[in-house]
Chains A and B, each alone.
Chain A
Amino acid sequence: MLCMSGVNDFVVRFANVNGTGSASANYLFAKSIFRMGVPVSAKNIFPSNIQGLPTWYEVRVSEKGYLGRKEGIDLMVSVNPQSIKKDISSVKTGGYFLYDSTKKLHDEFLREDIHMIGVPLMEICNREFIDPRQKQLFKNIVYVGAIAKLLNIDVTVISDLFADQFKGKEKLIAPNMKALGLGSDYIRDNYNFPLEFRVERRNLVGDAIMIDGNAAAGLGAVYGGASVVAWYPITPSTSLVSSFEDYARKLRIDPITGKNNFSIVQAEDELSAIGMAIGANWNGARSFTATSGPGLSLMSEFLGLAYYAEIPVVLVDVQRAGPSTGMPTRSQQSDLISAAYASHGDTKHVLLIPSTPTECFQMMTDSFYYAEQLQTPVIMMTDLDLGMNEHMTEPFKWDDNRKYKRGKVLSEGDLEVIKDWGRYKDIDDDGIPYRTLPATHPSKGSYFTRGSSHDEYAAYSEDSATYVRIMDRLVKKLETAKKLIPGPDFYNTTDLSETGLIYFGTSKHATEEAIDILKLEGETVDAMRIKSFPFNNRVKEFIDSHKKNICN
């Protein structure tokens, strides 16, 4: 039997039942490889369900640092009888199938071309643990112990992870270590180990961290100065606001009064969530909301208002598979067009498209600056994969000298001096007018914010020339945006190839690996990663300079 994979280069897939605590055990496994200095990527492939349906978790180990998913499963850990038929058939020839051998495996499932490893998980747990919940939960740790032995993972690394995980609940460490040992001992006594593919310590992760994009964006919003958050729960964006709340409850409490230097309101729907975020930003507090496709659809009318009335607002769209309700727990990047042009009439919105949690953090902190500088909605487009899976990523950085730039906001003193202020006058010829916040000056600077057609002084107007002037200025403003928001990145671009590859978001990992493979095969492809919309001029130049452009 042949196995193509080798040291620090293989894929493990776990087949579990949703709601049995398996995801944290599986992440423990992935994190232990990361702690051994080897690049790893973990994907939770889960159903829209609380308990009972099949769920999978896939860990790719890659010495070369490739974080995309890879075809072919080297080791399948099967803990779900519902999906066993599909799971066993998905193991590649020469691979391994670890299953709960408490009950004999049905003959029809047996395959000659793979290795079968039976571990009586249920039997072990029933024997060793009394509490029914522990019997269930520790099955997960027993199989982690078993594969740790098979893959040569250092037990001290896992015990360190337990120590981190159960800080303050130390009594949980001993039973977890016991379960880990039970799995490990069973392999030691019954099978050959380690396998030909396994983990060896390296020093390849540098100062990288492991975090999911939602947690990173939530933290980014804290650092970016967001003080009002309004939201409506929707998969897969929910944990972004939870992350903001968790960090804010630690980092944003006034030390003297114990009161919150932030506010979070769970709205009644997405319409209300974006309305609150717009209201807060109109009043000069940095505010955002997070949603997914269906929420974006609902928010469209308000996004049009914010565009036309020129109110900053930040929205994160953690995309999932559409159309309609679609597949709430599956990743897709299909909202780009509807986000870019959300709302009726001529509207266009600024999009930021991160590829990694580090970019989620960075772009989130910057999004408030862009929104306030441009006085328009900024939508950060992530997806379920980026938002909800832990990624190995660069550490977060913050410059303590950085000040929040609040854009063109007039102070009381400014208003005293300015003779002829108009809310929508383009003084600087960049399409960006000067705004005032309520309660700034007793007799100057008030205006009526409206979504109806208005002139430079915010007065209602149906005059054609006025309408055209304001609309043209908005176009000019979005041109200015191009110079402010991040331009594209280029990967291995030689300008020698006739083929240009264009990619964005989480397709980064698979695309860049594919380019490297092509290179090994003697094929050079130029590649550009788009990070924002409206497109920077370099995007057009890249497209024009290549005969054939492939969008990924």
Chain B
Amino acid sequence: MSYIKPKFAHPRLPKNPLGYTRKDYEGSISTLCAGCGHDSISASIVDACFELNIEPHKVAKMSGIGCSSKTPAYFLSNSHGFNAVHGRMPSVTTGANLGNRSMVYLGVSGDGDTASIGMGQFTHVIRRNVNMTYIVMNNGCYGLTKGQDSATADYGSVSKSGHKNTFEGIDLCLLAIELGATFVAQSFSGDKSQLIPIIKAALSHSGFSFINVISPCVTFNNNQGSTKSYDYVREHNEALSTLDFVPIKEEITTTYDHKEIKLVEMHDGSLIRLNKISPEWDPEDKLSIISAIHKSKSREEILTGLLYIDNESIELNELINTTNTPLNKLVEKQLCPGSEILESINNDLR
């Protein structure tokens, strides 16, 4: 059951420039387990959308099947949501995006929904550079069916039942980068200060934005020996940089001449400011990040932050030369060639 929260809001709640309060971006009360990492991600999505000044009804929340895919009920209740079949959120989102290119598409998926049953669609939505943000709430296990290992569980990670995973885990970020994703980030559900700006930057990116968020499963995969537990991730989290997101047209007052700071200008004019970056890594250099991820693995570290961005990204509708007017707004005049042309087609067929 979804529980609807009371609509009442305190009149003095802070509003964003569009006049919405943070409450306008919330959803129903979560039915996930208390302490679930996914709920923190939902909260970060709410904050990011509120702060980014997005009109809630212009967001489409897309998901597949699983614990993670339930979360769209728990944020942005003024947005339409679509709970597709297992592993097929990418295709539905692609179709929705083709039908109306003017909306913001926020896809939420899990490690089973993406790295197993949905692996095919995940790879192809990347290939097509669909303009959407794709968040994986990654806990390395199947929660709803009681804790089986998923394909992202690390080799050697121990499950609650004491079973040691004998298979290599799939690194979704590495995969996404290899497949040509134009925005790839990794974060931790327990680090909102990092996650919120990442979500804001992802939502502002034109093209496919991927965020892999390690999101511990408190019920089935938060035990000792698990590499997706709160304790393990906190201990092994290695932030590549700290990051701020500076929305479009916001005045920049600080000077950025420090060597350890990099500014990345986004398609729409907003900026990502990366602080304390390592000289060995550049988020616009694919090879440097692939190498950094591999090195971090040998050190048993989980790299987080913005990993890769391609600012030359051309999203799907541009690639296939679709008209700027959303296709769902076209009417007879643009769609139907009419009887005169049909008669000439008839003539050509005689």
User: Which residues on the B side are within 8 Å of A128 (C-beta)?
Assistant: none
B174 interface residue (CB < 8 Å to A):
no
**Min CB distance, B94 to chain A, in Å?**
5
**Min CB distance, A538 to chain B, in Å?**
31
User: Which residues on the B side are within 8 Å of A257 (C-beta)?
Assistant: 323-324
Q: A275 near B350 (CB under 8 angstroms)?
A: no
B234 interface residue (CB < 8 Å to A):
no
**Min CB distance, A223 to chain B, in Å?**
6
User: Which residues on the B side are within 8 Å of A447 (C-beta)?
Assistant: 80-81
How far, in angstroms, from A274 to B88 measured CA to CA in the complex? 10
User: Which residues on the B side are within 8 Å of A260 (C-beta)?
Assistant: 320-323
How far, in angstroms, from A285 to B99 measured CA to CA in the complex? 5
Q: A438 near B103 (CB under 8 angstroms)?
A: yes
User: Which residues on the B side are within 8 Å of A398 (C-beta)?
Assistant: 336, 338-339, 342
Q: B77 near A446 (CB under 8 angstroms)?
A: yes
> What 0/1 pattern do residues 142 to 153 of B give for CB contact below 8 A with A?
000000000000
Interface-lining segment among A114-122, A262-270, A377-385, A514-522: A262-270
How far, in angstroms, from A549 to B216 measured CA to CA in the complex? 64
Find the residue from A259, A274, A452 having the highest chain B CB count within 10 A. A259
Question: Which residue of chain B lies nearest to A34 when distances are taken between CB atoms in the complex?
Answer: B350
Q: Which of B4, B79, B85, B120 contacts A301 (CB 8 A)?
A: B85
How many residue pairs link A and B with beta carbons under 8 A? The number is 235
A225 interface residue (CB < 8 Å to B):
yes
User: Which residues on the A side are within 8 Å of B341 (C-beta)?
Assistant: 251
Q: B339 near A400 (CB under 8 angstroms)?
A: yes
**Min CB distance, B119 to chain A, in Å?**
11
> What 0/1 pattern do residues 328 to 350 of B give for CB contact below 8 A with A?
10111011111101110110111
How far, in angstroms, from A134 to B107 measured CA to CA in the complex? 55
Residues of A within 8 A of B (CB-CB), count = 75
Q: Which of A144-192 contact B (CB under 8 A)?
A: 164
Q: B57 near A443 (CB under 8 angstroms)?
A: yes
Q: A280 near B98 (CB under 8 angstroms)?
A: yes
**Min CB distance, B305 to chain A, in Å?**
31
> What 0/1 pattern do residues 208 to 238 of A give for CB contact below 8 A with B?
1111000000010011010110100000000
Q: A272 near B88 (CB under 8 angstroms)?
A: yes
A326 interface residue (CB < 8 Å to B):
no
Q: B99 near A284 (CB under 8 angstroms)?
A: yes
> What 0/1 pattern do residues 106 to 139 of A give for CB contact below 8 A with B?
0000000000000000000000000000000000
User: Which residues on the A side are within 8 Å of B336 (C-beta)?
Assistant: 222-223, 225, 398, 404
Q: B337 near A222 (CB under 8 angstroms)?
A: yes
Q: A265 near B330 (CB under 8 angstroms)?
A: no
Q: B124 near A268 (CB under 8 angstroms)?
A: yes
Q: A278 near B335 (CB under 8 angstroms)?
A: no
Q: A442 near B57 (CB under 8 angstroms)?
A: yes
Q: B339 near A228 (CB under 8 angstroms)?
A: no
Question: Which residue of chain A lies nearest to B60 when distances are taken between CB atoms in the complex?
Answer: A438
- Given A276-B91, A438-B103: A227 and B85 interface contact (C-beta under 8 Å): no
- Given A260-B323, A268-B120, A443-B57: A279 and B92 interface contact (C-beta under 8 Å): yes
How far, in angstroms, from A418 to B36 measured CA to CA in the complex? 38
User: Which residues on the B side are within 8 Å of A259 (C-beta)?
Assistant: 321-324
**Min CB distance, A324 to chain B, in Å?**
21
Q: A276 near B79 (CB under 8 angstroms)?
A: no
Q: A261 near B95 (CB under 8 angstroms)?
A: no
User: Which residues on the A side are within 8 Å of B84 (C-beta)?
Assistant: 275, 305, 451
Q: A302 near B335 (CB under 8 angstroms)?
A: no
Q: B338 near A400 (CB under 8 angstroms)?
A: yes
Q: Which of A164, A252, A399, A436 contacts B335 (CB 8 A)?
A: A252
- Given A260-B323, A459-B2: A272 and B120 interface contact (C-beta under 8 Å): yes
Q: Lowest 4 CB-CB distances: which A-B pairs, in order?
A: A279-B95, A275-B91, A285-B99, A276-B95
Chain B residues with a Cβ under 8 A of chain A: 1-2, 4, 24, 55-58, 60, 72-73, 77-85, 88, 90-100, 102-103, 120-121, 123-124, 128, 316-317, 320-324, 326-328, 330-332, 334-339, 341-343, 345-346, 348-350
Extra contacts, 17 of them, besides A210-B350, A285-B98 (Cβ < 8 A), are: A222-B335, A261-B323, A271-B121, A275-B84, A275-B88, A280-B96, A280-B328, A285-B99, A301-B85, A305-B85, A395-B343, A404-B332, A438-B58, A439-B80, A447-B80, A448-B80, A449-B83
Q: What are 27 sample pairs from A and B whose C-beta atoms fall under 8 A apart?
A: A207-B350, A225-B332, A227-B327, A228-B95, A230-B94, A251-B337, A252-B335, A260-B322, A261-B335, A263-B98, A263-B322, A265-B98, A268-B120, A275-B92, A275-B121, A276-B92, A279-B97, A281-B99, A282-B82, A284-B99, A443-B24, A446-B57, A446-B81, A448-B72, A450-B83, A451-B84, A452-B83
